[in-house]
Amino acid sequence: MNPGEIAALTFDVFGTVVDWRSSLVREGEAFGRAHGLTVDWVRFADAWRGLYQPMLERVRSGSLPWTKLDDLHRMALDRLLAEFGIHKLSEADVDHLNRAWHRLEPWPDAVAGLTRLKRRFVLATLSNGNVALIVNMARHAGLPWDAVLGAEVARHYKPQPQAYLTTAALLGLEPRQCLMVAAHNGDLAAASKVGFRTAFVRRPTEHGPGQTTDLAASQSWDVVAESFIDLAARLGC
Amino acid sequence: MNPGEIAALTFDVFGTVVDWRSSLVREGEAFGRAHGLTVDWVRFADAWRGLYQPMLERVRSGSLPWTKLDDLHRMALDRLLAEFGIHKLSEADVDHLNRAWHRLEPWPDAVAGLTRLKRRFVLATLSNGNVALIVNMARHAGLPWDAVLGAEVARHYKPQPQAYLTTAALLGLEPRQCLMVAAHNGDLAAASKVGFRTAFVRRPTEHGPGQTTDLAASQSWDVVAESFIDLAARLGC
What is the SS3 string spanning A140-189?
Answer: HHCCCCCEEEEHHHHCCCCCCHHHHHHHHHHCCCCHHHEEEEECCHHHHH
* C-alpha closest to that of B202 among B220, B182, B221, B188: B182
Q: Nearest 5 degrees, angle CA A44-CA A108-CA A182?
A: 75
CA distance B219 to chain A (A): 31
The stretches in chain B having pLDDT less than 70 are none
* C-alpha closest to that of B183 among B207, B163, B167: B207
How sure is the predictor about A2, in pLDDT bands with cuts at 50, 70 and 90? confident
Residue A197's Cβ-side half-sphere holds a number of Cα atoms within 13 Å equal to 20
CATH architecture of A20-103: Orthogonal Bundle (1.10)
Compute, in degrees rounded to 10, the torsion defined by CA atoms B103, B108, B111, B117. Answer: -140
Whether A3 has a pLDDT exceeding 90, the answer reads: no
What per-residue confidence (pLDDT) applies to B105?
98
Cis peptide before A159 (omega within 30 of 0): yes
**Widest pairwise Cα distance in chain A:** 57
Q: Nearest 5 degrees, angle CA A112-CA A114-CA A116?
A: 70
| pLDDT tens figures, A181-226 | 999 999 999 999 999 999 999 999 999 999 999 999 999 999 999 9
C-alpha radius of gyration, chain A, whole number: 18
Percent of chain A clearing pLDDT 70 (strictly above): 100
- In A, which residues are within 8 Å of B170 by CB distance? 130-132, 152-153
CB contact under 8 A, B171 and A139: no
CB contact under 8 A, A135 and B152: no
Give the Cα separation of A103 and A142 in Å (integer).
Answer: 11
Whether A1 has a pLDDT exceeding 90, the answer reads: no
| pLDDT tens figures, A100-114 | 999 999 999 999 999
Q: What share of chain B is helix, strand, coil (3-state, %, to 5)?
A: 50, 15, 35
Q: Choose the mutation target among A68, A101, A121, A148 for the interface with B, i.e. most B CBs under 10 Å.
A: A148
Give chain A's mean pLDDT.
Answer: 97
CB B217 within 8 A of CB B185: yes
* C-alpha closest to that of A85 among A40, A142, A137, A29: A40
Both ends of chain A: CA-CA distance in Å?
A: 15
CB contact under 8 A, A170 and B122: no
Cis peptide before B159 (omega within 30 of 0): yes
Query: What's phi and psi for A56, nearest 5 deg?
Result: -60, -40
What per-residue confidence (pLDDT) applies to A233?
98
Give the Cα separation of B167 and A115 in Å (integer).
Answer: 27
> If you count residue pairs, one on A and one on B, with CB atoms under 8 Å apart, how many are there?
55
Structural domain boundaries in chain B: 3-19+104-234, 20-103
What per-residue confidence (pLDDT) applies to A94?
98
Determine the average pLDDT of the residues in A139-167.
Answer: 98
Q: Is A197 helix (H, G, I), strand (E, B) or coil?
A: strand
Could you say which DSSP state residue A107 is in? P
Pick one of 3.40.50.1000, 2.40.110.10, 3.50.50.60, 3.40.50.300 as the CATH number of B3-19+104-234: 3.40.50.1000
Interface residue B171 vs chain A (CB under 8 A): yes
Q: Which CATH class is domain A3-19+105-234?
A: alpha beta
Torsion sign over Cα B126, B131, B136, B142: positive
CB B19 within 8 A of CB B107: yes
The burial class, CB within 10 Å (0-12 / 13-18 / 19+), for B210 is exposed
What per-residue confidence (pLDDT) applies to B113?
98
Cβ-nearest to B147 among A122, A135, A173: A135
C-alpha radius of gyration, chain B, whole number: 18
| pLDDT tens figures, A51-100 | 999 999 999 999 999 999 999 999 999 999 999 999 989 999 999 999 99
What per-residue confidence (pLDDT) applies to B48?
98
